[in-house]
Chain A
Amino acid sequence: MSTNNENRDYEHKKSVREHSSAGRERKDPETGFEPLSLWFFSICVLVLIIGGGYLGAKSAGFDFGNLQVNGYRAETPPNFAPAGPELSEYDKYFNAGEAVYKAVCNGCHQSNGAGQGQIPPLVESEWVTEGTERMAQIILNGIRGPIKVNGASYGAQEMPAQKGALNDLRVAQVMTYVRAKFAGISDEIITKEMVEDVRNRHGGRATQYTVGELAGADVMLAGEQPAWMSPGGDPDSSEDSGEGEESSLDDKAPESNEAN
């Protein structure tokens, strides 16, 4: 092909040299008209059949609500062992109370319940170990003024009302937690119904309590303990009995994970 170059007009010598690559090219391609083979159509039919089967099997009726593809089901495999032991109902309740404590009470009373400065401690405090009614009153409506705790006087700091921030279940859970954690009382829990009762009677109050207005040290909240508390006081022994039984608290307990 490069022989073209020599035959070209010599006046265009430079441009011919520049075009040498263009000059040796073959002609620009055209389209041929060979017929299609039968094989091609056969394979097309095969592909279409496979495609149709695929769509039928996987499209799940073109239903926007159906996320399940056959063979791709989210289920727990047979040999699956969940990490860690199953928690008892009591432990769940206790943990929920801990979450409330960390979110609401921690800042003043400290995570070890020792208080700080003019904020009284909770550990072994008579306000925790004795009457539960007055404990609920304090949490719901707050308290101010002088108060004696474990023999020491406090009063420069006020405790604000928590009734707007915590519902009955949360208050019950945090009371159970505080009593078990800081006073070792784990043979009974405070239930949602008990707190509901206190709130019905005192929830309308506009100001914080002073010590004189509270219920006496011997006034305990009355109410039925849930079924999973019945066999014994020890939280560890409640594990086996708690499983599978339904109670109103049981239904609400998972909510506590969302607390705050």
Chain B
Amino acid sequence: MTDDKKADEDILRRAAIDRSTRLPVLFFFTSAAVWLTVAVILGFIQSVKFYYPGFLDAPWLFFLNYGRSNPAFMGALVYGWAIQAGIGVAIWLMARLCRAEVKNPMTLLVAGHFWNLGVLIGVVGIFAGYGTSMEWLAFPKAVWPILLGAYSLVVIWLITMFMRRESGEVYISVWYILGACFWFPWVYITANVFIHVLPGAAVAKAATNAWFLSSMIFLVLVPLGLASAYYFIPKILGRPVHSSQLSLIGFWGLAILGGWTGIQKLMGGPLPAWMPAVSGVALILILVPVLAIAINHHMTLRGNHKLVETSPTMRFTAVGALMFTVFCVLSALCAFFSLGKFTQISQTTTAFQLLAVYGFFTLTIFGAIYFIVPRLVGCEWISGSRIQMHFWFSTYGIVSLVGLHFIGGMWQAAAYAQFDAPLENAVSAGRPYAIGVSVAWASIAISNLIFLYHLGLMVLRLGRRGEGPALLGHQHHAA
């Protein structure tokens, strides 16, 4: 009887903590989902513009040309959606794993408003022609202090939660979240200072930019995504993570190696040869922590693959984790010159970025959102089939998107290498794939419109009041 009572207390405590995170987390999720919709629509537009510039070519739509819609789409995807949704998941996970309520959630709301303001100024600035030409840093130069300030405010709140944690073991997800807390400011400040504030030689800027892009993936998006995967996979299975040693190897390996990656993209360029070499070797060695993480997840999941079929959270998280492994293995392979020469200057770079940001991170975060939101709004997702559609459109979309960009980019790079042939050949070599990419974007856009609508109904508390969660497949109850 006392056990039951304790369990009840536990549930009430957990529910109270969830409730304390409701405002900021829902704010971050909703605005992130809106930005995601903006990003995928822009993604579709820029993909069409790539091979058919006459698309949407009205005079008042001058700002949609490829040179502006492409960086605006990437900015909206990375800063509007990915990091913002990651912050939402981080707040919720931190509160839950430290068993500490969010105190004064209004501050987090203010931080969220400033973050969105920064992204809005950034995207509009790009459209107005004030963008910079730096990948993932294309927002006008004035924007970065706003984003940094907003993120720092969130970091302070996360750290105070960590300081107020209940005693006991610090779970691996918390490690990753704390890592992302400190790594984002480090990477972001360094890149902005050396690119925008104290710019050096153009070559140094290009190298800094390549390092920044890769570090953002390995030190910000990957930790946030893995924090989520490390929580939800064992949580839904109700069993412990396979091995703490593997968790440690995975964490420290990533922490040590993540910041060395990126410059291999410029191999053969006018840089000292050791710089791309060091980045390349970091990408190869990173396979050790990646293997540790993959084994850990796989062994935790072993024998329970049925849950991947029924639980939306599990399915999104598992596919996201799989994409993470694929991303890292492909990155390591392309660090070798024989493959890398096809992947460094063509559409394949887009394939890598999308595989990391959408294939791994976004799918993982979708899984987290499907778990978290019902606990915040007090109603259930309306329809499992709608989640199912979201999953399949997203997965098919991103797999074909990455595949087409990758293979099309190989053709394109091979045509570039024909130095005595006209450059036009290289453009037309990638063209059929570029058309396929637009179809994939359309699929992703559909999936995210479904998601935004579904999430909107939940936030307005128009969700299902019945008992039992929305599941995939034919079952309607249990688990």
Neighbouring B residues of A61 by C-beta, 8 Å: 274
A18 sits at the interface (CB 8 A): yes
Of A18, A51, A64, A70, the contact of B285 (CB 8 Å cutoff): A51
A39 to nearest B CB, angstroms? Answer: 9
Q: Does B375 contact A (CB under 8 A)?
A: yes
Q: What string of 1s and 0s marks CB contacts (under 8 Å) between A7-30 and chain B?
A: 111001001011111111111111
Beta-carbon contact of B277 and A60 below 8 Å: yes
Taking a contact as CB atoms closer than 8 A, the residue among B244, B281, B284, B420 that contacts A80 in the complex is: B420
Q: A21-B469, A55-B278 are in contact. Are A27 and B272 (CB under 8 A)?
A: no
- Residue of A24, A44, A48, A69 near B469 (CB, 8 A) is A24
Asked if B285 and A21 sit within 8 Å, CB to CB, the answer is no
Closest to A65 in B: B272
Asked if B424 is at the interface (CB within 8 A of a chain A CB), the reply is no
For the complex, is A156 an interface residue (Cβ under 8 Å from B)?
no
Q: Which of A1, A20, A40, A54 contacts B335 (CB 8 A)?
A: A54
Residues of B within 8 A of A19 (CB): 11-12, 15, 378
What chain B residues lie within 8 Å of A77 (beta carbons)? 419
Chain B residues 316-353 with CB under 8 Å of chain A are 335-338, 341
A82-B300 Cα distance, complex, nearest whole Å: 62
Residues of chain B lying within 8 A (CB to CB) of residue A20? 467
Among A24, A54, A67, contact of B273 (Cβ-Cβ < 8 Å): A67
Q: Report B-chain residues with C-beta under 8 Å of the C-beta of A32.
A: 239-244, 300
CB neighbours (8 Å) of A29 from chain B are 171, 230-231, 233-235, 239-241
Query: Is A34 part of the binding interface, using a Cβ–Cβ cutoff of 8 Å?
Result: yes
Tell me if B8 is interfacial: C-beta within 8 Å of chain A.
yes
Q: From B466, which residue of chain A is reached at the shortest CB distance?
A: A20
Contacts of A222 in B (CB 8 A): none
Q: Is the CB of A58 within 8 A of B235?
A: no
Q: Evaluate contact between A36 and B281: CB separation under 8 angstroms.
A: no
A5 within 8 A of B: yes
Contact of B15 among A18, A26, A35 (CB under 8 A): A18
Complex CA distance for A24 and B299, rounded to whole angstroms:
24
Given contacts A54-B281, A58-B276, A80-B419, contact A69 B337 (CB under 8 A): yes
Judged by a CB distance under 8 angstroms, whether B374 is at the interface is yes
Total number of B residues with any Cβ neighbor in A under 8 Å:
67
Contacts of B378 in A (CB 8 A): 17-19, 21
Q: Give the complex CA separation of A162 and B247 in angstroms.
A: 77
A54-B241 in contact given A21-B374, A66-B273, A69-B276 (Cβ < 8 Å): no
A54, B284: Cβ atoms closer than 8 Å: yes
CA distance A2 to B234 in the complex (A): 20
Q: Are A55 and B273 within 8 A (Cβ)? A: no
B101: interface (CB < 8 Å): no
Q: Which of B110-118, B288-296, B445-453 contacts A (4 or more CB under 8 A)?
A: B288-296
The closest CB in chain B to the CB of A73 belongs to B268
- Once the chains are docked, how many angstroms separate the CA of A75 from the CA of B35? 47
CB distance from A40 to the nearest CB of B (A): 7
What residues on B are CB-neighbors of A40 within 8 Å? 246, 291-292, 295
Give Cα distance in the complex from A49 to B212, angstroms.
27
- A33–B374 Cα distance when bound, in Å, is 32
Q: Across the interface, which residues of B come within 8 angstroms of A62, CB to CB? A: 272, 274
Judge whether B159 is part of the interface by a CB distance below 8 angstroms. Answer: no
- A25 pairs with B235, CB closer than 8 A: yes
Q: Which residues of A contact B419 (CB under 8 A)?
A: 77, 80
The yes or no answer to A68 lying at the interface (CB within 8 A) is yes
In the assembled complex, the Cα of A228 lies from the Cα of B479 at a distance in Å of 93
Q: When each residue 1-31 of chain B gets 1 if its CB lies under 8 Å from chain A and 0 otherwise, what string results?
A: 0001001100110110010000000000000
Q: How far is the CA of A12 from the CA of B234 in the complex (A)?
A: 30
For A37, the closest partner residue in chain B by CB is B295
A66 near B288 with CB under 8 A, answer no
User: Is B270 close to A, CB under 8 A?
Assistant: yes
Q: Which residues of A contact B8 (CB under 8 A)?
A: 4, 8-9
Cα of A52 to Cα of B97 in the assembled complex, Å: 39
Q: Given the complex of chains A and B, what is the CA–CA distance between A26 and B420 in angstroms?
A: 64
The answer for the CA separation of A40 and B12 in the assembled complex, in Å, is 42
B271 at the A/B interface (Cβ < 8 Å)? Answer: yes
Q: Could you tell me if A58 and B273 are in contact, using CB atoms closer than 8 angstroms?
A: yes
Which chain B residues border A5 with CB–CB below 8 Å?
Answer: 467
Say whether, besides A32-B242, A50-B284, A59 and B274 are in contact (CB < 8 Å): yes
Instruction: Give chain A nearest CB distance to B343 CB in angstroms.
Output: 14
Complex Cα–Cα for A90 and B280 (A): 50
Verify if B120 is at the interface (C-beta below 8 Å from A).
Answer: no
Chain A's nearest CB lies how many Å from the CB of B202? 15
Q: A164: which B residues are within 8 A, CB to CB?
A: none
The answer to whether A31 touches B288 (Cβ under 8 A) is no
A71 proximal to B (CB < 8 A): yes
A38 lies within 8 A of chain B by Cβ: no
In angstroms, Cα B277 to Cα A50, docked, is 13
How far in angstroms is the closest Cβ of chain A from B210?
Answer: 15
Cα of A26 to Cα of B299 in the assembled complex, Å? 19
Beyond A18-B15, A55-B278, whether A69 also contacts B299 by CB under 8 A is no
Contact among B169, B274, B300 with A63 in the assembled complex (CB-CB below 8 Å): B274
Q: Considering the complex, which residues of chain B in the window 419-477 have a beta carbon less than 8 Å from any beta carbon of chain A?
A: 419-420, 465, 467-469
Smallest CB separation, A212 vs chain B (Å): 57
A21 near B273 with CB under 8 A, answer no
Give the Cβ gap from A56 to chain B, nearest Cβ, in Å: 9
Residues on B with C-beta less than 8 A from A26 are 235-238
Cβ of B382 within 8 Å of any chain A Cβ, yes or no, is no
B287 within 8 Å of A (CB atoms): yes
**What residues of chain A lie closer than 8 Å to B291, measured between beta carbons?**
40, 43-44, 47
Q: B277 touches which one: A15, A17, A58, A71 (CB < 8 A)?
A: A58
Q: A72 to B479: give the CA distance in the assembly, Å.
A: 57
Q: Is the CB–CB distance between B234 and A33 below 8 Å?
A: no
User: CB < 8 Å: which of A7, A17, A28, A69 contacts B268?
Assistant: A69
Most buried by A among B14, B97, B233, B465: B14
Question: A69 contacts B11, CB within 8 Å?
Answer: no
Q: Does B267 make an interface contact (CB < 8 A)?
A: yes
Can you sample 14 A-B contacts with CB below 8 Å? A19-B378, A21-B469, A30-B171, A30-B234, A32-B300, A34-B299, A35-B243, A40-B292, A47-B287, A51-B285, A62-B274, A66-B274, A69-B273, A72-B337
4 cross-chain pairs, A with B, having the tightest CB-CB distances, nearest first = A26-B238, A29-B234, A58-B277, A32-B240
Given A22-B11, A59-B274, 10 extra CB contacts under 8 A? A2-B467, A5-B467, A7-B4, A29-B240, A32-B243, A33-B243, A44-B288, A44-B291, A58-B280, A80-B419
